[in-house]
Amino acid sequence: MPTRPTPFVHDSLRAADTCPLSLKWSFQLMLELGGHRTFLGRESFNDEELARDFGLATWVDAHEYDATQALKALRQNARAFKVDYPHPPYPDRLAGNLQSLGALLQLSDAELHVLGFCVLMHNDPVLGDATHQLGVMGYNRALRLLSVLLGLTLTEVRTCLSRDSQLVRTGLLDLGTSYRTSPMPLSSLLYVSNQDLPALLLFSQGSPLELFAYAFRLSPAGKLNRKHFIHVRQPLDIAERYLAKAMEQGRVGVNILLYGPPGTGKTQLSRLLAKRLNSALYEVACTDRHGDPLQPHQRLCSLRAANSVLQAQRALLVMDEIEDIFQTSIFDARSRFQKAWINRMLEENSLPCFWLSNSIESLDAAHIRRFDLVIEMPNPPLAQREQLLRDCGAGKLGNELVKQLSAHGQVTPAVLERAVRVSRDVAQRAGKTLDSAIRCIVDSTLKAQGFTKLPRNDANGLPSFYSPEWINADLSLAGLVEGLRAHPQARLCFYGPPGTGKTAFGRWLANELDKPLMVKRVSDLVSPYVGMTEQNLAGAFESAQQADAVLLLDEVDSFLQDRRKARQSWEVTTVNEMLTQMESYNGLFIASTNLICNLDEASLRRFDLKVHFGYLAPAQALTLFAAHLNVLGLKDPKQAAGQRLQGEGRLTPGDFAAVARRGRFKPFANADELATALLAECRLKSAGLLNSVQKFPDSRGKQRPIVSTPVCATIRSFGWRIWGDINGHHCRNSAPTSGQWRDHQCHSS
């Protein structure tokens, strides 16, 4: 049988690095608080490494383990340790940090002892393992345990662990949601909100701000000024005046919510306000010192710590990416508790705080009403985006690229700034121009975000020789322009066959009125998620209103289809939202469609003017043909080629554009080839309609065409000339009689 060790000696490298105070508490946990019952098993130690820490290596290696003799040896070692260290102090650095922290946060001596024990328990493996031997315990047992270890009364310990204590209010301790009702290990009850803090308190020595570097950090200087936020000038002015007054009076519970799509300048706005208020801005951390993301409750504890540590400074706080913090679940006890905690924090925080979010969908109404100001940060209007681009590019960006970038509604300031910064370094090394590098970077970002890429053609989509004289409308377009100059609030519907110049005229009209143009296509607005299409429609109208832009919505029949034919509820709600937005819009709205007969009846009365765009008149076709000959460098001295077009009544400006694009890769040798190509385009259009018609015998055995709904709509939109092609395969200028329409009713295809 081995002999008992007499003096206490360290039997492990781990124990040699353990501070005397941790060993004292470890002995108390074993002998005074019942830890030995678990530690000393029947056949061996529960934790052999801990046994070596207590100087019991002899019993670990013995062939015949005796729990009784091991307990006697443990007690003897404890007595020997007490002789050597009757009153062991905190380690020097920990003692200094606790003293500084206590003075700053006004912590009581009892709270400092509890915090010191937490620091050692979470950093000292010997004390941590000794605590683990006690297993789970209820709240009252934990109070008694701390009372014995720290030499405090039960009342003092209970006060330190209440939710109103400075330890909890400052975010140093996180008690969780069920610490009073559910048994748990002592290390879980005394949970330090961020695991970086105990190590910093124990091993580092510096100012409290340096100790809390894990929780918050000084924000970098902003890069934008007031001219970049003209689109939110009024809420910016209100926020600045309100914050100045609140800081002057030392108000508590001052909170401002900034929300909007990523990259719209929320962080930059908070930095600008801090600069104008001559205040330091501190960002509450989202990650720990290792780069790992912090849990929502850890970030809230960091926010509370920042409010306490920085309370004496003239400072503002910013809390970014708050969506996960405000997400709650009725099945999650912590989230329900967290909701109440957030509400209380919003009412009691000592420093003004900016809360930044990309979306407010996850925010409860109870949270939102507690914010003093709620400011939406939309993408800046077109003119501002263009100016921002020119500022970032320092005049080195091409004018066409600037217009394309600024016209794309999803290119945010952050995307622009980053693309310019990266392209400056990349373009020269790669042998590319600055424009091509920026286009590549922005296109990659847009694709990853699920948005359309930048257009490859001119931003306004018009040829240099464009003229509205080549539009065959049913009213004077010159008079329309003059009327809109005097009264630029109108809702216009441009309808007619494809290619007749509806969209192009809308672009030209915006240029003539000297207004920015905002073009929205179906792909920009339709979403697979219920409700998002309506939200995108509302956003398009709101953005155009703020930018004082001409809003051009192409293929509007996708959003204004007849509700009587709707099969899904979302089809109806989309039309309803569109009608509502049209009714309340105060700017210039242009809708274009090829199928006006498919529009909902209620939409027609909401258009102030409906303009029909028809096929080119013979004289218009001839002058447009001459213009293209001039651009292509071709001649038609006797106008023989042009005369070939005079008998074709279905020519559109779109046909000329399509043929001109073909000429880029397959040039035309002469004017006659150009005319032949235009006539071929017209034949294809007629063939497409004829192939969509089937003939069936009627009750008298006569073959009758059954026209599908889309084709019928096209016939009405294109004009009665097509009717002759369908009914008799020859041109006939007269419209079908009512009887003919009755015989040829529209059927589902």
pLDDT tens digits for range 254-300: 999 999 888 888 999 999 999 999 999 999 988 877 778 888 888 88
CA distance 733 to 721: 5
Is the CB of residue 86 less than 8 Å from the CB of residue 27?
no
Classified as helix, coil or strand, 533 is helix
Domains 214-376 and 468-612 share a fold: yes
Q: Determine how many CB atoms are found less than 10 A away from the CB of residue 581.
A: 21
Provide the residue ranges of all domains of the chain, joining segments of one domain with +: 1-207, 214-376, 382-449, 468-612, 618-682
**Distant-in-sequence, close-in-space partners of 465: CB < 8 Å, separation ≥ 6:** 627, 630, 631
- Integer-rounded Cα radius of gyration of the chain: 39
Q: Where are the beta strands (DSSP E) in 87-213?
A: 136-137, 184-185
Residue that wins the pLDDT comparison between 6 and 491: 491
The pLDDT tens digits of the residues spanning 92-102 come to: 899 998 998 88
What torsion do the CA atoms of 24, 25, 27, 31 make, to the nearest 10 degrees? 140
CATH of domain 468-612: 3.40.50.300
Reading the block at residue 711, the tokens are: 């084709």
Give the per-residue pLDDT at 111. 92
- Rounded distance between C-alpha atoms, residue 301 and residue 345, angstroms: 10
**Helices 502-512 and 477-486: crossing angle, nearest 10°?**
40
Q: Position of tokens 């607005």?
A: 525
Read off the tokens for 162: 């209440």
DSSP 8-state class, residue 616? P
Question: Which fold is adopted by the domain 214-376?
Answer: Rossmann fold (3.40.50)
pLDDT of 580: 86
State how far the Cα of 541 lies from the Cα of 52, in Å rounded to an integer: 74
How far apart are alpha carbons 627 and 634 in whole angstroms?
10
**For residue 24, what pLDDT band results from cuts at 50, 70 and 90?**
very high
Share above pLDDT 90 across residues of the chain, in percent, rounded to a whole number: 18
b (16+ CB within 10 A) / e for 118-137: bbbbbbbebbbbbbbbbeeb
Taking the C-alpha atoms of residue 405 and residue 453, their distance in angstroms, rounded to an integer, is 10
Q: How many other β-carbons are positioned within 10 Å of the β-carbon of residue 732?
A: 14
Residues composing the chain:
749
Asked if 316 and 274 touch (Cβ cutoff 8 Å), the reply is yes
Give the tens place of pLDDT for each residue, 153-176. 999 999 998 878 888 888 788 776
Mean local confidence (pLDDT), 398-402: 75
Predicted confidence (pLDDT) per residue in 729-745, tens digit: 333 333 444 334 333 33
Q: Is residue 342 predicted with pLDDT exceeding 50? A: yes
Per-residue pLDDT at 81 exceeds 50: yes
pLDDT higher than threshold 70 for residue 440? yes
Residue 374 pLDDT grade (very low, low, confident, very high; cuts 50, 70, 90): very high
Are 30 and 40 a contacting pair, CB within 8 Å? no
> What value, to the nearest 5°, has the Cα angle with vertex 146 and ends 142 and 148?
120
Beta bridge partners of 532: none
pLDDT category at 331 given cuts 50, 70, 90 is: very low
Tell me the average pLDDT across 491-507: 90
pLDDT at 486 over 60: yes
Mean pLDDT throughout 533-545?
84
**Per-residue confidence band for 351, with pLDDT thresholds at 50, 70 and 90:** very high
Q: Which residue has the higher pLDDT, 451 or 478?
A: 478
pLDDT of residue 647: 75
What is the overall mean pLDDT for the chain? 79
Amino acid identity for residue 436 in this structure: S
Strands 373-376 and 255-259: parallel
CA 432 vs. chain centroid, Å, equals: 31
**Would you say residue 126 has pLDDT above 70?**
yes
pLDDT of residue 149: 92
Confidence of residue 725 (pLDDT cuts 50, 70, 90): very low
pLDDT digits 0-9 by tens, 608-658? 899 999 998 888 888 888 888 888 888 876 677 778 887 778 889 988 888
Is the pLDDT at 682 greater than 90, yes or no?
no
Q: How far is CA 7 from the centre of its chain?
A: 65
What's the CA gap between 426 and 422, in Å, rounded?
6
**Do 343 and 307 form a contact (C-beta atoms < 8 A)?**
no
Q: Is pLDDT above 70 for 701?
A: no
How many Cβ atoms sit within 10 Å of the Cβ of residue 68? 8
Give the separation between CA 563 and CA 573, rounded to whole angstroms: 9
Type and span of the H or E element at 109: helix 109-123
Please state the φ and ψ torsions of residue 648, each to the nearest 5 degrees.
-100, 110
**Would you say 599 and 458 are in contact if contact means Cβ atoms under 8 Å apart?**
no
Q: Give buried/exposed letters for 89-102 (b at 16+ CB in 10 A, else e).
A: ebbeebeebbebbb
